[in-house]
Amino acid sequence: MENTERQAIMSSVPQPPRTYNQNHALRKYSPGKRRVSLYWTWSYPWEANRDTTELDNRFSTMTEVRRVAWPGYEGTEWDEMHFLQGIAGTLELFHRSTLAFQRVAGEVTGHPVAVFQRIDQAGYKLPIDERILADTDTLMVFGLDHLLSEQEAAAGEIEAIREWLEREGTCLLLGPHHDVGFTRDLKQRQLEYTHHGDALVPRQQRFGQYTRSLMKALGVPVMNQFGLRPALIKGTKQIAPLTINRDLDKLGLLNGVTTFNFHPHLPHYALTADDTESVHVLTRQPIDLDRPHPFTQVGNTEFNSFIWMPPDTQRAGHILLADSTIFTTLFGGVESLETFWKNLATIPLTSGMPAKKTQAAA
């Protein structure tokens, strides 16, 4: 379904009443029912207050979105009376874009999906600690903080996550976003820009310092690189099927899955160590080879798009890596993607590894 069609449907269907600026209500443990939480790593005020005369390392304003996506956001629901017009409006589009995932996950788990931000619109800072982890079985950390904002996981957060991962059945999904134009070579920046073809992404847009700091602290040998455009099926607008290592997919996360959704600049999750025992690349995404890019010019035709680190002797929980846009509807969605969401939300709470701690009673 096209984005404009989805917007029209959403605007015509009465939505449940929305609450804001309230304390999180703890979700009680239910046997076999996973509790999912999203954590946006950004400082909302820092991102929203960026100088719009800066060309790089900021989100677009809604004015820029409207210009590029015209006439997709020309309805009255997007005007200055009803919607934020600056960078804050674009941040709210990201929040809106996960509503479909939240609905699907909530339906299959019986628990509402909790959504947290590192620093929210009202200026409240919420590090990842027991307040988030106590009633969470799957924590999805969406790394859309620009490197310039210097978001780092504090020692207390790292220790809290390590302890949480000792709990049977936990799952930490890390989603550092793209790193476009990291080089000082302006010609390469332009080449990367023409490769992804998204007028809303500047020549340099580097994301994911918070998730990078977590990966380093937790011993996750992965680095998010570039912003690569997936290949399409020739003659269509459909994303090319994933290359799936089904023999490695012991959790069945990719059962019934053939594709994720199209996004023009997805990160390559490069492995930084030669470890095929503890790190499993489950999917690779074919790249649009008609658009030159430094990554393909050295012979690469696919990028790593989904990684699983199974439990080990030090950790009872799973660690996954997948880009945050796989869980949004800003860039379309297909039935295969919803199947993936359901598979993720229904990972068994028994990991098969000896639990160091009992299930938290929240």
Per-residue model confidence (pLDDT) at position 321? 98
pLDDT at 332: 58
Q: Closest by alpha carbon to 199, among 8, 70, 44, 49?
A: 70
pLDDT of residue 40: 98
Strand partners, 205: 180
Tell me: the pLDDT tens digits for 158-210? 999 999 999 999 999 999 999 999 999 999 999 999 999 999 999 999 999 99
Residue 89, SS3 per DSSP:
helix
Beta-ladder partners of 30? 33
Q: Which amino acid is at 118?
A: R
Low-confidence ranges of the chain (pLDDT < 70): 1-13, 330-333, 351-362
* DSSP 8-state code for residue 60: P
- At 211, the amino acid letter reads T
Residue pair 118/151 in contact (Cβ under 8 Å)? The answer is yes
- Sheet with 318-322: list strands edge to edge: 114-119, 36-43, 138-143, 171-176, 318-322, 302-309, 280-286, 243-244
Q: How many residues are recorded in the chain?
A: 362
Encoded tokens for 142? 């969406």
**Contact status, residue 276 vs residue 220, Cβ threshold 8 Å:** no
Alpha carbon separation from 353 to 131, 135, 313, 317, 338 (Å, rounded): 25, 21, 8, 9, 28
The two structure tokens encoding residue 322: 């997948």
Per-residue pLDDT at 331: 57
Q: Which two tokens stand for residue 244?
A: 């799936």
The phi and psi torsions of 166 (rounded to 5 degrees) equal -80, -15
Cα–Cα distance measured from residue 304 to residue 285, given in angstroms and rounded to the nearest whole number: 7
Q: How high is the pLDDT of residue 97?
A: 93
Beta-bridge mates of residue 269: 224
- Residues 80/2, Cβ–Cβ less than 8 Å: no
Q: Give the chain's largest Cα–Cα span.
A: 56
Q: Quick one: pLDDT at residue 14?
A: 76
Residues 218-240: b if buried by 16+ CB within 10 A, e if exposed: bebbbbbbbbbbbbeeeeeeebb
Going by the DSSP 8-state scheme, the letter that residue 325 receives in this structure is G
What pLDDT, on a 0 to 100 scale, did the predictor assign at position 333? 59
For Cα atoms 260, 264, 266, give the angle at the middle one, nearest 5 degrees.
65
CA angle 135, 112, 167 (to 5 degrees): 25
Is residue 10 left, alpha or beta, with left meaning phi > 0 and alpha meaning psi from -120 to 50?
Answer: alpha
CA distance 55 to 186: 14
Distance CA 296, CA 228 (A): 10
Give the pLDDT confidence score for residue 68 in this predicted structure. Answer: 96
The answer to whether residues 193 and 294 touch, using CB atoms and an 8 Å cutoff, is: no
Amino acid making up residue 260: F
pTM for the predicted model, two decimal places = 0.92
